[in-house]
Amino acid sequence: MLFRNPPPLPAAPDQTASSPLGRLLLLIILLSALLAPKGEAADTLIYFGQGGQQTVSGSLHVLENGSGLYLIDVGSFVGGDGPNHPWPEEIPVARIRALFITHIHADHIGRLPLLLHQGYRGPIYLSRVSYELARVTLPANLHLIDLGPERFYYSRNNAGRKRIPVYLEGYDFAERTVKPENRVYFTGHRHRLATQGYYLARPQRQKLETELLARLDEQAIISDPDQPFRVDEFKVRFLTTPHMAGSVMVELQFRGLRILFAGDTGANGSPLLPDNPGFPEPIDLLFLEGTYGRDREFDLAAARTNFRRELAARLAEGYRVVIPAFALDRSQQIIQEIGRAVADGELPPDQVIRVCSPTARELLHRYADFVGREEFAPYFRPEVSKSQFLPPGYLPDCSSNDPDNPLGLQHGEIGVMTSGMADYASARQALLDYLEDPKTLFYFVSYQSPASLGGRLTAGPKPPAELRIGAYRRQVKAKILQTSGFSGHASPREMIEIFTAARPRRIYLVHLDPRNATSLTSRYQRAFQAEIIIPRRNERHQLHP
Ligand SMILES: [Zn+2]
């Protein structure tokens, strides 16, 4: 499976014009050629983007030449960064020749279901680990995707229930499920169903998941790091970067021009992922992220050492430890760090670690499974072991019959909980249950947006005395800590170290927090002696000739 060439472009129609019908056909062809979206001359290469231009989220970069369009990432916007629906009309789906995915964070792959929904049937190039992880995370998030207004129906018999199972028009789930005469139709948005008291019925979800996985299997082309491949006129190569498991940079060569989309670039020294490449050959054009504008006070290794020490000290004092973490990658990296602490004797061998998210648990087992398999070797450090992900005290269970402690997390135990900013799922429940307990430690391990629950707890030098959680209020008696030891993004100083050998002559700053634009421009101009460009959304930049 998974090794195919891009689909051939439709063949040019026969242009013989001897008959009146032939002449009419010729006229139609000429007219449609005039009206068709303008293509580029064969040696011209244009860049434009539809996400990640002066925003951190929504990464969607396009290279255009005479053959068509080549996409690097197809991410979702977050917050007010941009619209996730409709599909941008500047990117006609029929002209897309290939899609390259740097990694599977939602802000890099979240609009893939929309692109497939729009009829894209071309190749999706991604790393082996990205492919395996996407098979778990894409189906798990299908109900959160914005595909625009869709027609749903539910059974009249369920009207008035607190949560009503719904089905999509066009899917007939045997008439016994919802008889046609009992169906109540309405138009809605899939990602808003939950807030309106609906949910996708289980058979409907399964059907959508199966369809999506079949698409992915059909269109995915696995590309391992450092294995060049050809896509039309491009010579392409993936290079690993320690941002998250499976994350890669995409290098494209076009007529002697070497372009690197660095994607999200991690700092060297991760205990899980190999370091960035060395760039023995120069890069002409570098598309670089500008998520962070300032250097870190501690390097990652020192911050992780502190994390382990703090954890061990509090657990020894009988604290219960809650670690809110994103289900994808961050949870697994946290558990690996705890697993290493157990192996090194910093934590007791039977230290209980509960993982309170089904998706995080499933991914944890995938990570453990990758380790030691030869085809996954290029993606992980050789010293990573299975037992780091599944230490002896790991418990896949997070519930109890105690009405005062539904999560069941006891003092002396660690619970890794979704979500990373504690806004929903078990992490939010933990705030409700444990925030007033002085013997609980909440350890935040990622960036916290100021409006999130985690953001409100970690914003000041001291946590607030009280926290509002939806309709509830809780006094903040628990201990609150935060670490930057798990950051997946290199700081500007680290970026300079990573890319100095690449000697880029022009840098396009994308995935950019606009507040960093001025400082990063002057810093990188000095460090790289390069021209710095900050593209706007949909602004066209000629890269070649
Ligand atoms: Zn990312």
Q: Indicate if the pLDDT at residue 27 is higher than 90.
A: no
Distance 317 CA to ligand 1 centre (A): 36
Q: Are 188 and 150 in contact (CB under 8 A)?
A: yes
Distance 47 CA to ligand 1 centre (A): 21
Q: Indicate if the pLDDT at residue 36 is higher than 70.
A: no
Q: How far apart are CA 478 and CA 461, in angstroms?
A: 15
Looking at residue 193, its pLDDT comes to: 95
Q: Describe the crossing of helices 358-370 and 128-140 by its angle, rounded to 10 degrees.
A: 170
Q: How far apart are CA 251 and CA 262, in angstroms?
A: 8
The predicted-structure confidence for 68-88, as pLDDT tens digits, reads as follows: 999 999 999 988 899 999 999
Looking at residue 274, its pLDDT comes to: 98
Q: For residue 154, how many other CB atoms are within 10 A of its CB?
A: 20
For the chain, how long is the longest CA-to-CA vector? 92
Distance 511 CA to ligand 1 centre (A): 10
Q: How far apart are CA 524 and CA 61, in angstroms?
A: 21
The predicted-structure confidence for 252-296, as pLDDT tens digits, reads as follows: 999 999 999 999 999 999 999 999 999 999 999 999 999 999 998
The predicted-structure confidence for 324-350, as pLDDT tens digits, reads as follows: 999 999 999 999 999 999 999 999 999
Distance 238 CA to ligand 1 centre (A): 16
Q: How far apart are CA 234 and CA 257, in angstroms?
A: 10
CB proximity list for 484: less than 8 A, separation 6 or greater: 296, 298, 300, 303
Looking at residue 376, its pLDDT comes to: 98
| CB-proximal residues (5 Å) to ion ligand 1 | 105, 264
The pTM of the full predicted model, rounded to 2 decimals, is: 0.90
Mean pLDDT score of the chain, rounded to an integer? 92
Mean pLDDT for the stretch of residues 177-194:
93
Looking at residue 7, its pLDDT comes to: 44
Distance 109 CA to ligand 1 centre (A): 10
Confidence of residue 4 (pLDDT cuts 50, 70, 90): very low
In terms of DSSP bridges, do strands 320-324 and 353-355 run parallel, antiparallel, or are they unpaired? unpaired
Distance 205 CA to ligand 1 centre (A): 26
Q: Are 444 and 482 in contact (CB under 8 A)?
A: yes
Looking at residue 22, its pLDDT comes to: 56
The predicted-structure confidence for 347-393, as pLDDT tens digits, reads as follows: 999 999 999 999 999 999 999 999 989 999 999 999 999 999 999 99
Distance 409 CA to ligand 1 centre (A): 30
Strand extents, DSSP E, 291-445: 320-324, 353-355, 394-395, 414-417, 440-444
Distance 241 CA to ligand 1 centre (A): 11
In terms of DSSP bridges, do strands 96-100 and 472-475 run parallel, antiparallel, or are they unpaired? unpaired
Distance 231 CA to ligand 1 centre (A): 25
> Residue 169 corresponds to which tokens in the numbers above?
């028009």
Distance 107 CA to ligand 1 centre (A): 7
Distance 362 CA to ligand 1 centre (A): 20
Distance 23 CA to ligand 1 centre (A): 54
Domains belonging to the chain, first-starting first, are 45-127+223-294+491-534 (3.60.15.10), 144-212 (no CATH), 300-482 (3.40.50.10890)
User: What 3-state class would DSSP assign to 425?
Assistant: helix
Looking at residue 24, its pLDDT comes to: 56
Mean pLDDT for the stretch of residues 137-147:
91
Mean pLDDT for the stretch of residues 197-213:
95
Residue 163 is which amino acid?
R
Confidence of residue 177 (pLDDT cuts 50, 70, 90): confident
Q: Indicate if the pLDDT at residue 8 is higher than 70.
A: no
Distance 166 CA to ligand 1 centre (A): 33
Instruction: Compute the chain's Rg from CA coordinates.
Output: 25
Mean pLDDT for the stretch of residues 122-130:
98
The predicted-structure confidence for 413-447, as pLDDT tens digits, reads as follows: 999 999 999 999 999 999 999 999 999 999 999 98
Taking alpha carbons only, the member of 202, 204, 142 closest to residue 172 is 204
Q: Indicate if the pLDDT at residue 187 is higher than 60.
A: yes
Q: How far apart are CA 534 and CA 511, in angstroms?
A: 10
Q: How far apart are CA 473 and CA 164, in angstroms?
A: 29
Q: How far apart are CA 472 and CA 99, in angstroms?
A: 45
Distance 337 CA to ligand 1 centre (A): 20
More confident residue, 172 or 539: 539
Distance 61 CA to ligand 1 centre (A): 15
Distance 201 CA to ligand 1 centre (A): 31
Looking at residue 29, its pLDDT comes to: 52
Q: What count of residues does the chain have?
A: 545
